[in-house]
């Protein structure tokens, strides 16, 4: 326990099921007396265990078990004296006959069976939680694989399309060293950058711009290479833009809505 609170959520279920003993049981009981939050969790655990006990499948006893129980009932009926009815007269001493306070035979069967059923239900619930978690992880992995597959298909389509334009980007004088090229398809509205460039200063970012035949430059992505290794990424643009040139500028960290810094790389479609 941390700061008096149970560190495991299943401790509340184990306490409700009576599986905690000795010091663990005393510790949690003394803590519940002063912690409203943990008391609410215990109440929630009681409801959860009760619901799970009803969710367990019904198991019919075998014929042999039924026969043994019926034989026990007949033996107890023959051994005991007949109980008077409610309409019978009082005893000669004038006091009413009391019913036997001895525990019924079925108590010794139902109580252990209920505990076993609750423990089995808790185990099934815990196993279902693990299966749900594994299923969620598998779904996330499948989604990531599907995303990668869609990306590969888009790249293949871009490279194979006859109307895709490839433009080389050369470094500008006095700027950081680098070389890259972009592939652009106006109908698909996709531009793909592939190249290398020296890392920018800590307070700066590189930004790729599409310069159309008419209108203001359009941002195609902000990137911050940590090394001079080749980078590869793709960006979506409005479809049908007629491009005049591409440029990479050095901007404040995070990029700008329009170019403000010097051009580092540039290339023209003509």
CATH architecture of 165-268: Sandwich (2.60)
Confidence of residue 50 (pLDDT cuts 50, 70, 90): low
Confidence of residue 1 (pLDDT cuts 50, 70, 90): low
Confidence of residue 127 (pLDDT cuts 50, 70, 90): confident
Residue 118: per-residue pLDDT: 72
Q: How far apart are CA 225 and CA 202, in angstroms?
A: 11
**Is pLDDT of 90 > 60?**
no
Reference 208, options 195, 199, 220, 190; nearest CA is 220
**Is pLDDT of 148 > 50?**
yes
3-class secondary structure, 24:
helix
Confidence of residue 18 (pLDDT cuts 50, 70, 90): confident
**Is pLDDT of 61 > 90?**
no
- Residue identified by tokens 């609170």 is 5
**Is pLDDT of 40 > 60?**
yes
Confidence of residue 53 (pLDDT cuts 50, 70, 90): low
Q: Which residue has the higher pLDDT, 18 or 236?
A: 236
Domain ranges for the chain: 10-55, 165-268
Confidence of residue 91 (pLDDT cuts 50, 70, 90): very low
């Amino acid at each position: 326990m941390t700061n008096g609170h149970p560190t495991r959520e299943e401790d509340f279920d184990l306490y409700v099921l009576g599986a905690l003993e000795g010091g663990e049981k005393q510790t949690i009981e003394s803590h519940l007396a002063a912690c409203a939050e943990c008391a609410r969790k215990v109440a929630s655990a009681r409801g959860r265990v009760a619901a799970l006990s009803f969710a367990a499948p019904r198991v019919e006893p075998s014929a042999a078990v039924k026969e043994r129980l019926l034989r026990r009932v007949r033996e107890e009926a023959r051994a005991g004296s007949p109980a008077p009815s409610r309409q019978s007269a009082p005893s000669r001493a004038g006091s009413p006959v009391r019913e036997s306070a001895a525990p019924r035979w079925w108590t010794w069967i139902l109580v252990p069976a209920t505990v076993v059923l609750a423990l089995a239900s808790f185990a099934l619930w815990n196993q279902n939680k693990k299966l749900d978690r594994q299923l969620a992880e598998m779904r996330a992995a499948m989604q990531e694989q599907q995303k990668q597959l869609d990306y590969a298909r888009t790249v293949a389509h871009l490279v194979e399309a006859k109307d895709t334009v490839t433009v080389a980007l050369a470094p500008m004088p006095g700027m950081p060293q680098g070389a890259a090229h972009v592939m652009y398809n106006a109908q698909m509205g996709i531009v793909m950058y592939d190249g290398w460039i020296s890392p920018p200063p800590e307070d700066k970012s590189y930004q790729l711009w599409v310069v159309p035949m008419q209108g203001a430059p359009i941002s195609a992505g902000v990137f911050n290479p940590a090394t001079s290794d080749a980078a590869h990424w793709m960006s979506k643009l409005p479809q049908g833009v007629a491009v005049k040139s591409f440029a990479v500028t050095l901007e404040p960290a995070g990029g700008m809505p329009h170019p403000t810094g010097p051009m580092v790389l540039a290339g023209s479609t003509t």
